[in-house]
Structure 1
Amino acid sequence: MVCGQGHRQDITSGGPVTVQPTGRLEGKRAIVVGGGQTPGATTGNGRAAAVTFAREGAQVLVVDRDLDSAEASAELIREEGGTATAHRADITVEDDCAGILDAALAALGHVDVLHNNVGIVPAGRTENLDAQTWRQGFEVNLTGMWLTCKAVLPHMRERGSGAVVNISSMAGLLAGGEAIAYTTSKAAVHAMTRSLALEYAPHGVRVNCIAPGMMDTPMGVDAPAKAGGISREDVAGKRASMVPMGHQGTGWDVANAALFLASQEAAFITGTVLAVDGGFTLTSRMS
């Protein structure tokens, strides 16, 4: 059953989002890793993806390191008539990643879609960046994503079908001296995505990546505003001014792109990196 219908509002902020569910994931089972979110005024990419997949007919396992946040996303889905279960996992722990598949099989029966949304932003130029921060950036942004893929891809291979959507960043497509660990780890996600796509293409499994740009999400706006002691409006305005289209995107823009890549409409697409950025990557660099 497809949950939700017609025109919708952003669950958190009340911002306009038009959604007309058509059952594009009807009968599918999806894992959304990073399906909770940090506190903020808008809806994050992971929560938006979980809700969008459910609206399109998927049963969803919402995974997050913060179980309460994962449960909040699952409850939003259930309130709309969808099916969702929350599960706690830390993707930097290999046993936790293996447990994600176990939880999915118990709750959903099988897995058709794996959506990877976890990431952090380790900031700093080369000369003032400590090695531990560098390692943590790669551990979360790259290794953790590889571990979830390692856990789920054998199941998809055995079934002869599946779609993986990795969320990266436009930072992986541009130079960004202020955050070298971030840009480098995100570029590595793109390379990993292409390698996995080639490895699993003969088995009917597709692996793609989305590179979001300036998005009006809690991680993109609220977190840096709080850290810098400045207003959310000032952060959002500065970010919007950098986008050729003149405004930021939303978590729902990323979710809609993920829906396309997860659906049969993208049945002949694998190994791609799709920029969802309002034209930002047409510019020369991050900063």
Structure 2
Amino acid sequence: MNTSEQGLGWTPAKRLQGKVAVVIGAGQSPGEGVGNGRAAAIRFAREGARVLAVDRRLESAEETAEIIRGEGFECVSFAADVTREADLARALAEATQKWGSLDVLHNNVGVSIAGGDADLLDITEENFDNVCRINLRGTVFACKHAVAIMRKQGGGAIVNVSSAAAVGKYPYVAYKAAKAGVVAFTEQLALQNAEYGIRANCVLPGLIATPMAVDTRVREWNQSREQVSAERNAKVPLGRQGTGWDVANAALFLASDEANFITGISVLVDGGRILNRI
């Protein structure tokens, strides 16, 4: 995959030079385009970070790591299931042991339709629990182990990916509830850890043309990719879906020292779609 063909994933600023970043959800689902997590891992590496690319599927994390190493930057892949606290603890310990610190944690795991999300009258206990376990509990326990490390070292930055669905219209129940929980948790995280020099912020992507978002709907709805994309594009005031690079660029800013007086906020990356509710 040629990730630089769009010209959106490179700047010479080196905002994360010398830092260690763990990106959880750094692989991606099969399909066209670049996912948010892969874009963030690449973006962080291009800005000077040493990156631990974490994903449930090691082969997908390794694909990300190979892209980064192929560009001359440092990245190691690591397999972890976010529904298992021990896996998350091992991932964060691995980065710290390998490189001596943990400066950035980026949580970019989410599932909706593919996890069984549905309308309130159709949702099952099993599917509701599954979506919340992945989207909310995984973020909470990754932060638990990151904070323990960051408090000892005297600081760090955490960027959690929630969703515009947390604050806007969304048809299904579990994803919205879980992602709203990520926002509330991040605010609490920021407040309780500011005295330790730890910042915590959220990115709220809107309609982004990632494999997870578009290709999953193509399969589930039995529509063409063109149909799904046209439907989504029409809902955005800017006239198009965003890309993984748009989300990664917001995450990069919040992870960098340029945002060193920013904590506890949620940044919408949605092309103005939230304005449609006004």
**Gaps (5+ residues) in structure 2?**
none
TM-score w.r.t. structure 1 length?
A: 0.93
AA matched with 2:277: S
**How many corresponding residue pairs?**
275
Q: Is the 8 A contact 2:13 2:47 kept in 1?
A: yes
Q: Say if 1:36 and 1:62, in contact at 8 Å, map to a contact too.
A: yes
Letter in 1 for 2:262: I
Deviation at 1:104, TM superposition (A): 0.9
1:18–1:58: structure 2 CA closer, same or farther, 3 Å change rule?
Answer: closer
Which residue is 2:275 aligned to?
282
- Structure-2 residue corresponding to 1:11: 3
Matched letter for residue 191 of structure 1: A
- The correspondence of residues 232-243 of structure 1 with structure 2, limited to 5 A, is 232-243=225-236
State whether structure 2 residue 78 is matched by structure 1 residue 87: yes
* Alpha-carbon offset, residue 161 of structure 1: 1.1
Match of 2:142, as an amino acid?
T
Choose which of 166, 177, 182 in structure 2 pairs with 1:172. Answer: 166
- Partners of 2:218 and 2:33 in 1: how far apart? 14
Name 1:184's counterpart in structure 2: 177
Distance 1:148 1:224 in 2: 28
What is residue 109 of structure 2 aligned with on the other side?
A: 118
Equivalent residue number for residue 64 of structure 1: 55
Compute the displacement of 1:227 (Å): 2.1
The answer to whether the Cα contact below 8 Å between 2:9 and 2:43 also exists between their aligned partners in 1 is no
| Aligned equivalent of 1:196, options 189, 195, 198 | 189
Q: In 2 relative to 1, CA 259–37 (structure 1 residues): closer, same or farther, beyond 3 Å?
A: same
238, 242, 246: which one aligns with 1:245: 238
Whole-angstrom distance in 1 between the partners of 2:9 and 2:48: 17
Instruction: Give distance in 2, aligned partners of 1:278 and 1:190.
Output: 20
Secondary structure, counterpart of 1:120 in structure 2: coil
Structure 2 vs 1, CA of residues 16 and 23 (structure 1 numbering), >3 Å: closer, same or farther? closer
CA distance in 2, matches of 1:103, 1:181: 32
Q: Residue 5 of structure 1 corresponds to which residue in structure 2?
A: none
Question: Would the aligned equivalents of 2:103 and 2:155 in 1 still touch at CA under 8 Å?
Answer: yes
**Aligned AA for 1:123?**
D
* Alignment match, 1:37: 28
Aligned to 2:89: 98
Aligned mates of 1:175, 1:239 — CA distance in 2:
14
Determine helix, strand or coil for the equivalent of 1:163: strand
Residue 68 (structure 2) aligns with:
77
Distance between the aligned counterparts of 2:141 and 2:183, measured in 1? 15
Tell me if structure 2 keeps the 8 A contact 1:213–1:280: yes
Identify the residue that residue 131 of structure 2 maps to in structure 1: 137
Change (3 A) 1:97 1:78: same
Question: Where does the alignment leave 5 or more consecutive residues of structure 1 unmatched?
Answer: 1-8
Match of 1:148 among 123, 139, 142: 142
The answer (yes or no) to whether the contact 1:24–1:56 under 8 Å persists in 2 is yes
Give the superposition deviation at 1:126: 1.3
Taking the aligned partners of 1:124 and 1:221, their CA distance within structure 2 comes to 17
- Residue identity over aligned pairs, in percent, reads 47
Q: TM-score, normalised by structure 2?
A: 0.96
Contact 2:21–2:105 (Cα < 8 Å) also in 1: yes
2:266 is aligned to: 273
The Cα of 1:19 is off from its aligned counterpart by: 2.5
